[in-house]
Every structure is written in C-alpha cells, then in structure tokens.
Structure 1
Amino acid sequence: MGFPQQVERATMESDVIIGVLDTGIWPESLSFDDKGLGPPPSKWKGSCQFQPQDNFTCNNKIIGAKYYRSDGLFLPDDFESPRDSDGHGTHTASTAAGNLVDGASLYAFGSGTARGGVPSARIAVYKICWSDGCEDADILAGFDDAISDGVDIISISVGGGQTKDYFEDAISIASFHAMKNGILTVSSAGNEGPGRSTISNFSPWSLSVAASTIDRKFSTKVQLGNNKIYEGVSINTFDLKNKTYPMIYGGDAANTTSTSTISSRFCFPNSLDKNLVKGKIVLCDTKRGKGIGALLAGAAGTVARDQDGVDHSSLFPLPASCFNLVDGRNIFQYVNSTRYDYSIRI
C-alpha cells in the first residue's frame, strides 16, 4: 500500500486510541510491543481485565482490555479474559495499529514486513465475540465502555449474513451513539462479496471497509498421471516429497451409511467412505469445506473445482489445490478416463 517502514513513535499518532471490538487479543505478539511508547494519553479512562493466568497486564501499547459475556456461560474453547482464543481479534487489532514486524510470513509464504495502519496508535480491547458468536448485549456494552473510556476510533470487524433495520441492528445503534460523541466507527462490509447487495454494515454514520486484493498469487501445481500439469491456487504448506498418489472422485466414494453421492461429491464431513478414500487424493466439487471432510476420511490430499471462482488462496489442513470449472473439468475427465492410472502429484 506504500506505507513507510520507518515510524516515529513519539508523534501525535501516539495519542490516538483505537477501540477494537472483537474476539480479544494475543498480547505477546510482537505487533503489540510497547517499546518506544510513552504512557497512555491523559484522556484515557479505561481499565485492564487481564487475569493472573494470562501472565500479562496492559502496557503502553495495549492500554486497556475488557471482556463481556452477558449470559455468564463460558465455553471450554474460550478464555475467561480478554485473551484471544480465536485469532480474529488479534488479526484486526494488528491490522489497525500493529507495530512494524520484520520477517513476517506464513511458512515462508508472503514474506515481508507486517505493519498496521497506524503503528504508533494505542489499542483498547473489548472482547465481545466468543467461539459461539457475538451477542447484541455484549456489543452494546462494549460500545458504551469504549465511548466512556475515551477512545478516538472504534474498529469492529463483525457482521451478520443478512441485513437488518437500523433500529434492530446493535452495531448500527451503537455506532450512532459513538458518532454523537465524536467517535468514528469503522466496520467490516462482510465476507459475502463481490456479489450485489452483500454488505452487512452500511449505516451512513459509520465507515464500512471491504476486503482488497493483492498483487501476488499463491499457486499449487497438480501433475496428473498423464504428465499434464495444472496450476491451481492454495496456500499449500505441505511437502508430499514429489510422491504420486491414486485419485478418486468424491462422488464415487460416498459413505452410504450416513450420506449420499450428492453430499460426497462436495466432500463434506462424514460424507466420504474412509475405506475408499484413505491414502488417496480426493476430487471435490467445492472448496467450501476447506478439505475437512477429506482429512477426516484419511485422504492424502484434495483437489477442488468450484464455480465460485478462485480469486483468492485458502489454507487447508492437508495438501490441496483449487481450480476453476475449466481446469476442474479436465481433471474430472482424467479421473473418469480408463486410459490412465488415475495417479496425481501435488
């Protein structure tokens, strides 16, 4: 985006406080080191609710942290504190105000320097989302505290799958109150684009931000037994040591005790016959399952063909590559051919 990689911490930007309403934060991340930052701005009135078991208290970067659970029921997968057990809140906080971190990558993919939009800004955490979702009561309580604590901007990357009337939407109501107090709310547009009418946060008194594309492509090649090579997309962190595996179409490997061929072609969890799939590459008719069904069935990898297109790369829990319908049809025809041995290499 052209941001500089040199940031002076002692600037007016260090007086900016961003309230992040999300799943909490992982405070040990280098993105939240407070080296070079002075004490919090005098306008700050918030507090820190990290628990002793967190082995962390607020610093001059993370100047506040609170958590909200209106029903008082905490699930085993969650931390009863502002600590992040999901990762989404840590991601959004670092995107907004993370420090510059050299050598950032995902298993050497996308190596470079990570930095937030305003690296010198302070972060106030309001954990309003948990493993089972985000309740309206917690969203409203988080907004109320952020406003009274003295934040300058509120960031909330939360949205539903469908739109609501302003008077029934907690984020619209809360962001209106923030606006009346001179605080801008920045919210996510949603994850359903780029189709029409897919934005979920659109109140005129807030700023909705959509995802962007990048100038890089993460591809994974697939070589069939007939030596034809197709290039799909995925962030493939696995190494199959150039080994060849047999291939099977998910629609031909249905777990007939619990599902049908219609479900197995999509490789949804429990839809595949483990005896037929184990140790093979499975061809699936969608990428939406992210390979979970193939993994649970013992597959060595998965190849997905999807009519939704492959404009971005996804992570999978096993070797994988995703294709559009054109290349996907060619691979499907190969699997259904009697002339080849159905072997494949990812």
Structure 2
Amino acid sequence: MEIGDLFAEWGYGAGQIDPIKALDPGLVYDLSEIDYIRFLCKASYSGTALRIVTGEQNLNCSSISPFGGHDALNYPSMNVHLENPQSSITAAFIRTVTNVGSEKSTYKAVVKAPKDLKVTVNPDTLVFNKVNEKKSFKVKIQGPPLEDTPVLSASLEWIDSNNHKVKSPVVISHMLIPTRK
C-alpha cells in the first residue's frame, strides 16, 4: 500500500467542493450545540474545563442525556483510535441523517473495506417518505489487530436512484498522536 493510499480517508473534504452537488446533497448529518457538548462529555471534559469551552456556567455532563456510539457525535466520518496495536478492532457508531432531497427517497448502503475489516450497517436501506425526515443507523466495525499497519481505511456511501452519493470515511489507526501538555 502506498503512503498516499494509507492516509486517503483523512484527505476527504480537504479539496474543492462541487457547488452543483452541494446545492442538492440528498442527505445531511445535523449537528447542534448539544451534540458538541455530548462529544466533550464523552472526551472526559467536565467541571471547569467544560464551562470554559462552552461558556455555560451551570453546565455539567450528568445533566446531559447521553448519545450512544463510539464517539457520541453525529458526524459523517467515523474514526477509531486504538491505544494498543495488538487490540482487536471493535467499535459501533450511531448516526442520524436528514433527507433534504426528494420527498420519496430510498438510500442503499455501500461499504468499501479491506478484506480483514468487517463493516456492517443496520439498517442497510433507508426509506424516506418526506423531506426533512430523519433516519438513524448503526455502523459496526470489527477486525483483527493492526500490528502491521498504522492506518486502515474504509468508507460507507449512501446511494439513491436520484444520483445522490453521501460518503462517510471510516478510519482505524493506532499511530501515536502528539498531545498538548
């Protein structure tokens, strides 16, 4: 595998958008302030740190209803960082998309992944009957340890009959990522 291929999934979104396709994306992943707060709580922010980041003086994680999944964030990309490269890969992500395309739309999940990585989507078909309708799905990722490679990339793409393609990168890594002190 070439180095350029190794990090390909992290490169999505770094280039130019197609303005015509951006006007009619089909599906969107909604994010609100509470989604980011849940993410911070999942990342162990609490007390003073949470209040500094959010600007909310009376906020604490125990008062926030939890959101399931590996990262507690309704975001198109799915990233798993393994602390130990000898650990098996296991993660689940829960996502919700909103139909902003045609009133009657059916999207089918298409997964592209290396042979050793099992990525399942449930349900694998989303049927929308109206605009602004929301549907949730779960992405489960399983695989052997990543001892021989620092990064493994896959993707999930929702495709409908109206030529909409909504792609989400899936990245599993065990590289050491520098942290601030």
Q: Same fold (TM over 0.5)?
A: no
Bigger share in strand: 2
Q: Which has the larger radius of gyration?
A: 1
**With structure 2 as the length reference, what TM-score do the two structures score?**
0.29
Higher relative contact order (CA 8 A, sep 6+): 2
State the TM-score, normalized to the length of structure 1. 0.18
